[in-house]
Amino acid sequence: PYPFYERLRDESPVHYLKEMKLWLVTGYEEASTILMNPNFGKKMPEGYPSYVQQPPEKYKKLNELPDNMLDLDPPDHTRIRNLVAKPFTPKAIASLRPDIEKLVNSLLDKAEEKGEMDIVADLASPIPAIVIATMLGVPLDDVDNFREWTTDLVRSFDATQGPEAREKGYEAKLNLLNYFETLVEQRRHNPADDLISELIAIEEKGDKLAKDELLSMCILLLFAGYETTVNLIAVGARNLILNNDQLQLLLSDPSLIKTAVEELMRYETPVQRIGYYTQVDTKIGEKELKKGEPVLVAVGGANRDKKIFENADKLDITRSPNPHLGFGKGKHFCLGAFLARLEAEIAYTTLFTRFPNIRLLDQEGDWAPNTAHRRLLTLPVSLK
Ligand code: HEM
């Protein structure tokens, strides 16, 4: 997608796509301005027709589900986000390090015996799935089920995917909803030391969280915590292997891991686009965005803007500062950013320290058709 973004950025960084009736923003300054400006929000302004298609009759239960925080504006957004912020602070996340290290090592032990692995299936996918399931309190036996559901759900958000993907998305969301309804009822009677039980306690106190909002929150945390991080770990690992000078640099100075993770986020941004709606007529640069018009902020394009990032198309793991927009910006800034960073940091450090001679077995890259997320379906490597 990068040559396309580059051309747009040079010619028209805030561009109206007539056939799709939306704005595509690829310039960094413009993207950043929009993410910070309250004139852009998640809800369509009142009185304007919604672009979101309603699910057909057989999925009507989904219509009753309230929006999750990602789709809300203040004050509801602020109220709900504050309820769940604490377990995602840097300090709380740092306490997970020993468990994540143990998990990554046990996954790599299994791979070592074979001498080969598929980084997607054997490493990048189990890490975030197991970590977020454990935090929430989803039994690990159910992890395989939910991975398929969250993948179908996230694919259905991509408007380029067509009606079949949309239908699968409804089906998946309904499965997730039914699943969490049962789990929440179980935890209500038998609370455990997990996030779902904490949220139930808040809900039962009365005025801060409605029962259905709790279910929406569980679904969001599960898919947001899993779908994005798989892509960072796998796509980032591939980019490090392809850029061997950068991998050697990291191996010779492991303290570069933090700037390396930020650079891998920038270079091949896992979530390529974020959607907002114009709430009041607003001028961005020379363009006038009208109330009710949808805006796709192409952070994947903005993160390659040469005005901000020197040698933007080059992977440079020492890059600092690195103000990339890969986790968004402003009030919806990714709640799980510290968790994703820690998972990626441990995955790369452990993988490359244990297997410094790692080689790709497929140079092409087995990419998913999804364009909103940069996703590899498989990433076979030799470890010897
Ligand atoms: C929000 C990306 C990992 C939970 C966001 C946003 C982006 C993003 C771009 C802002 C969306 C917007 O403005 O509309 C990523 C990437 C990740 C990642 C690239 C991994 C590399 C995680 C993890 C969690 C998580 C591990 C764990 C629960 C959330 C939540 C929001 C969010 C709950 C909504 C925040 C709000 O609306 O205030 N993420 N994310 N994300 N992310 Fe992440």
Segment 32-51, tens digit of pLDDT: 999 999 999 999 999 888 77
pLDDT band at 52 (very low <50, low <70, confident <90, very high): confident
150 vs 159: which has the higher pLDDT:
150
Q: Is a pLDDT exceeding 90 seen at residue 228?
A: yes
Q: Is a pLDDT exceeding 80 seen at residue 270?
A: yes
Which CATH number does the domain housing residue 40 bear?
1.10.630.10
pLDDT band at 121 (very low <50, low <70, confident <90, very high): very high
pLDDT of the residue at 68? 95
Q: What percent of the chain has pLDDT over 90?
A: 86
Q: Is a pLDDT exceeding 90 seen at residue 155?
A: no
103-138 in b/e form (b: 16+ CB < 10 A) is bbeebbeebeeeeebbbbebbbbbbbbbbbbbbbbb
DSSP output for 49-112: PP-SPPPPGGGGGGGGSPP-GGG--TTHHHHHHHHH-GGGSHHHHHTTHHHHHHHHHHHHHHHH
pLDDT of the residue at 180? 96
- ∠ CA 368-374-377 to the nearest 5 degrees? 35
122 DSSP assignment: I
Segment 281-335, tens digit of pLDDT: 999 999 999 999 999 999 999 999 999 999 999 999 999 999 999 999 999 999 9
pLDDT band at 157 (very low <50, low <70, confident <90, very high): confident
Ligand 1 centre to CA of 69 (Å) is 11
State whether residue 288 is helix, strand or coil.
strand
Rg (CA), the chain: 21
Ligand 1 centre to CA of 337 (Å) is 7
Looking at the 3D structure of the chain, how many domains does it have?
A: 1
Pairing relation of β-strands 22-25 and 294-297?
Answer: parallel
Segment 354-372, tens digit of pLDDT: 999 999 999 899 998 888 8
Q: What are phi and psi of 226, to 5 degrees?
A: -105, -55
Over range 219-227, report the average pLDDT. 93
- Structural domain containing residue 27: 2-382
369 vs 214: which has the higher pLDDT:
214
Over range 150-163, report the average pLDDT. 84
Ligand 1 centre to CA of 220 (Å) is 9
Best mutation site among 84, 223, 327 for ligand 1 pocket (most ligand atoms within 8 Å of CB): 327
228 pocket-lining for ligand 1 (C-beta < 6 Å)? yes
Q: Is a pLDDT exceeding 80 seen at residue 17?
A: yes
Q: Which residue has the tokens 């109220």?
A: 79
Over range 139-163, report the average pLDDT. 87
| Averaged confidence pLDDT in the chain | 95
Pairing relation of β-strands 14-17 and 359-360?
Answer: unpaired
Pairing relation of β-strands 40-41 and 274-278?
Answer: antiparallel
End-to-end CA distance of the chain: 33
Over range 3-19, report the average pLDDT. 95
Q: Which residues, at least 6 apart from 311, have a Cβ–Cβ distance to it below 8 Å?
A: none
pLDDT of the residue at 132? 96
* Residue identifier of the C-alpha nearest atom 36 of ligand 1: 332
Best mutation site among 335, 373, 374 for ligand 1 pocket (most ligand atoms within 8 Å of CB): 335
161 DSSP assignment: G
pLDDT of the residue at 217? 96
Atom in ligand 1 nearest the alpha carbon of residue 71: 37
pLDDT of the residue at 162? 83
Ligand 1 centre to CA of 57 (Å) is 30
pLDDT of the residue at 31? 98
In 10 A of CB 79, how many CB atoms? 15
State whether residue 377 is helix, strand or coil.
strand
